Structure 1
Amino acid sequence: MGRAGKALKQVLETYDINQNQLAVAMGLGRSSINRWVNENRDPAADAVLEIVEGLEKINESAAKDFLNLYLGRFSQNDEQ
């Protein structure tokens, strides 16, 4: 399991967004976010799109970083 959960965890920590904030923005229960962040379950493809949309409501830069990390476009040290 992994890439989405790792990317999401990093973005939440970097942008100081808590799981509840994202859950509210996405209209989900916090338990779903928690399962993804702790890599107990991978989000489905449509959920990845919802994660992006939820992050955009909170912080557009966080949404962009999530996509970049998830898609593997940039390493953590690359300039954007």
Structure 2
Amino acid sequence: MGRAGKALRHALEAHDISQNRLAITLGIDRSKVFRWFHEKTDPTAETVADIVKALNAIDSTAAESFIKLYLGDLLRDREGE
């Protein structure tokens, strides 16, 4: 566990977005966001896409930060092609 949670925590903290605001935007209970944020559970791949969409609706730079942190190695590998 952890990569998504770490990326989410950093993006929310860096862009001053509350867990509650993200939960409301996603239309889910805040306890789910809390569990991801504290690396208790990992979101599914489909949910990661929903997180990106929700972050983009709140603050597009937060969405970009989350993507870069979550997919960082993959993005760097692709840039090297």
TM-score under structure 2 length normalisation: 0.88
Consecutive unaligned residues of structure 1, counting only runs of 5 or more, are: 75-80
1:59 maps to which residue?
59
Whole-Å Cα distance in 2 between the matches of residues 44 and 6 of structure 1? 15
User: How many angstroms does 1:46 deviate by?
Assistant: 0.3
| Bigger fraction of residues in helix | 2
Q: Secondary structure of the residue that 1:61 maps to in structure 2?
A: helix
Q: Secondary structure of the residue that 1:67 maps to in structure 2?
A: helix
Whole-Å Cα distance in 1 between the matches of residues 20 and 58 of structure 2? 12
Amino acid at match of 2:5: G
**Identical aligned pairs, as a percentage?**
50
Whole-Å Cα distance in 2 between the matches of residues 56 and 45 of structure 1? 17
2:18 maps to which residue?
18
Alignment RMSD: 1.0
Amino acid at match of 1:17: I
TM-score under structure 1 length normalisation: 0.89
Whole-Å Cα distance in 2 between the matches of residues 53 and 29 of structure 1? 17
1:34 maps to which residue?
34
Whole-Å Cα distance in 2 between the matches of residues 58 and 28 of structure 1? 15
2:2 maps to which residue?
2
Whole-Å Cα distance in 1 between the matches of residues 58 and 29 of structure 2? 17
Amino acid at match of 1:28: I
2:79 maps to which residue?
none
Whole-Å Cα distance in 2 between the matches of residues 19 and 49 of structure 1? 17
